[in-house]
Structure 1
Amino acid sequence: MCYADTTDNPDGTAAAHCYCGWSNTYPDHDTADAAAENHAREAEAAEAEFAAAH
């Protein structure tokens, strides 16, 4: 399972990142937060699909 989070940067941008190694920089906190949530949901769905197939 992925646990994505965000970090606000001094320049006003925000980074979305996850312990799995995924990361991206976004123009603002809200966009980064949405991307982090989306990343976690997609990872959870992929893990569920893998578990169902095996």
Structure 2
Amino acid sequence: MRSGRSSVRWFRGQARGGRPAKHPRREILNALVYWLRAGCAWRLLPDDLPPWQTVYHYWRR
């Protein structure tokens, strides 16, 4: 079942002002899901995901 939300607004809405995002939030969420499922250390995230520091920042928010 699909919710009616677009893929842009489903993760904490859109940013309002400030610096444009360097990494899409969907990619950050994908990295968080990978980290949770793999049970690996932050520094062992694959290179095709955003940097581990960025993912960790969003995890700590």
TM-score category by the smaller chain?
0.3 to 0.5
> TM-score, normalised on structure 2?
0.37
**Larger relative strand fraction:** 1
Q: Which structure carries more relative contact order (alpha carbon 8 Å, separation 6+)?
A: 1
